Structure 1
Amino acid sequence: MNVLASNGIDLCYETFGNADDPALLLVMGLGEQLIAWPDGFCAALAARGFHVIRFDNRDVGRSTWLDDLGVPDLAALFGGDLSSVRYQLADMVADTAGLIEGLRLGRAHVVGVSMGGMIAQQLAVDRPELVASLASIMSTTGDRTVGQASLENPGALVPPPGADRDTAIAADVALYRLIGSPGFEASDEELARNAAAKVDRGYHPAGTVRQLAAIAAAPDRTAGLRALTVPTVVIHGEADRLIDPSGGRATADAVPGAELVLIPGMGHDLPEGVWAPIIDAISANAARA
């Protein structure tokens, strides 16, 4: 684990592979830490000839926690009142740009999932000189008419504040039972093991709420995506209940020349059964650069 100062905060990051290989930056989603990119997935990308970097976004894991900003009002947020938003998605884009610059990666292949896909998209729009290729996975454009969740209880996305270890683990297991891949279902033991690793490394519900608020306040990126010239692949699970596949289709439709890869049975996670097609798509797209 390493720490780099970026955009006024510290970002914790980890690398795989040879530093002389082309850089591939992995950007994680809402409330998730860098370990949500599975070790085997990162190692497989490194074996394809990439220098892989994964990192904790602000407010999660071992990057800077911004608790001094306070916690957004979730009820108001879901009602459309954005006055309690504490920072913007644009701030997280600036964090990511600062990491690329601080590590002297030059132009990196950027891969983002969910919220990380939103960050990666906006980074490609705002700072195209930093992005060699773009892979947007299980994400959407910010257009509220697409990509909407089909969950009965969206509050399940927010980990319970002040929970003891067992309660926090159980909540994470329940969440991934809800949004995970029905075609690649994980065992209870695997889900509990993954949840325990996250809780023990850096359980921080307030950060998840602030990130959720940033997503809610983010503008529609469609117009910016239409101006992209960077090679782009959009990957989405056909069984995603958190971000409907219409979000992926809209992203691919917006970016000129983008390839759309839909994976049957895949939900809103990265089970080992979907690694091969995702890594193949990322590698092929990077080769276009």
Structure 2
Amino acid sequence: MAERVIETDGIELCTESFGDPADPPVLLIMGLGASMLWWEEGFCRMLAAGGRFVIRYDHRDTGRSVTYAPGRPGYTGADLVADAVRVLIAHEVPAAHVVGVSAGGALAQLLALDHADRVLSLVLISTSPAVPDRGELPADLPPPTEEFVRFVSATPVDRPDIDSVIDQQVAYARVLAGGRRRFDEDGARALVRRDVERARDVDAARNHDSLTDGQVPEAPLSSIAVPTLVIHGTADPMFPLRHGEVLAERIPGARLLALEDAGHGVDRADWPTVAAAILDHTAQVVSFGSCRPGKIRQMHT
């Protein structure tokens, strides 16, 4: 395990890797407003123990990456997609298996559309279509649950101290968990505290709430040509299961793994199942040598 801050194009991004750089690379993209710590270390180590070189990183305005003035991020969602490429280049990885959760899953889709030569395969967790297909989004995508909407609507803007920030984020984690399983409040609180205490600026992540999309690819989801696995909890309150089903329907050859009673994100109880699914999925694509982007050979086994 090695954490380091990379600087590219004047942008500082904090990254961390696990495993042997000679193993097939897996890039983990977290959702907006969350640092790389939400790809928990134990989960990353499971993937590394399965023979993968795992890279996680802090988005801008999270963790130890660059921060911007509140309300003035100065970057777009498209820039966050480009940051994923920057991380791969810094780690001398021509292309990787890309795993994205929540909005990180949307960034992963955009990465596959705009930088196809950088993506060996996709794993999309707790997410939704990032672009219209055939000019439109499906009409049957259900909205978030009423409980989720109530919580977000009632979330206070002012957070007077660190403890109130932690309380709010733990409460949010509880809502995201979906309510069908026992919620590990102690584990969530410990993770949130580490995240808050590690951040350069705990309020900077709010900039993600005001991000514009930037330049979005015109290609439809059906043009994604890499092996894709969709993983979705049946109790996801932000993106109900139908969102994952639509992704699996619209990306050619995609498979859907539904996690019974799981909420939004990767619950510790599901680590063995999700890690095994990712290892199996990424084993389908073998990259040879240190090929340059655009010259990557793939073999499907």
**Identity within the alignment, %:** 32
Counterpart of 1:286 in structure 2 is 282
Equivalent position amino acid for 1:71 in 2 = G
Q: Which runs of 5+ in 1 are unaligned?
A: 73-84
| Aligned pair partner of 1:200 in 197, 217, 239 | 197
- Would you say 1:71 and 2:91 are equivalent positions? no
Q: Which runs of 5+ in 2 are unaligned?
A: 131-136, 286-301
Counterpart of 2:90 in structure 1 is 102
Q: Any residues of structure 2 matched to 1:28-177 within 5 Å, and which?
A: 28-67=30-69, 70-71=70-71, 86-142=74-130, 143=137, 145=139, 146=141, 148-150=143-145, 151-153=148-150, 155=152, 160-177=157-174
1: CA distance, partners of 2:243 / 2:168? 26
Higher helix content, 1 or 2:
1
Counterpart of 1:11 in structure 2 is 13
Give the structure-2-normalised TM-score. 0.83
**1:116-165 CA-partner distances (Å, limit 9, x unpaired):** 11111100111011111110100111348526322233536978555312
**Secondary structure of residue in 1 paired with 2:276:** helix
**Secondary structure of residue in 1 paired with 2:283:** helix
Task: Work out whether residues 157 and 175 of structure 1, in 8 Å CA contact, stay in contact via their aligned partners in 2.
Answer: no
Task: Work out whether residues 87 and 210 of structure 1, in 8 Å CA contact, stay in contact via their aligned partners in 2.
Answer: no
**Secondary structure of residue in 2 paired with 1:91:** helix
Counterpart of 1:253 in structure 2 is 249
Deviates more, 1:40-49 or 1:145-154: 145-154
Larger-Rg structure: 2
Deviation at 1:197, TM superposition (A): 1.0
1: CA distance, partners of 2:142 / 2:85? 26
Task: Work out whether residues 181 and 268 of structure 1, in 8 Å CA contact, stay in contact via their aligned partners in 2.
Answer: yes
**1:227-278 CA-partner distances (Å, limit 9, x unpaired):** 0111100111010001222221121111100011110111013222111221
Could you say if the C-alpha distance between residues 30 and 259 of structure 1 is closer, same or farther in structure 2, counting changes exceeding 3 Å? same
Counterpart of 1:25 in structure 2 is 27
Task: Work out whether residues 181 and 271 of structure 1, in 8 Å CA contact, stay in contact via their aligned partners in 2.
Answer: no
Equivalent position amino acid for 2:256 in 1 = L
Equivalent position amino acid for 1:11 in 2 = L
**Pairwise CA RMSD:** 2.4
2: CA distance, partners of 1:114 / 1:248? 11
**Secondary structure of residue in 2 paired with 1:13:** strand
2: CA distance, partners of 1:28 / 1:249? 21
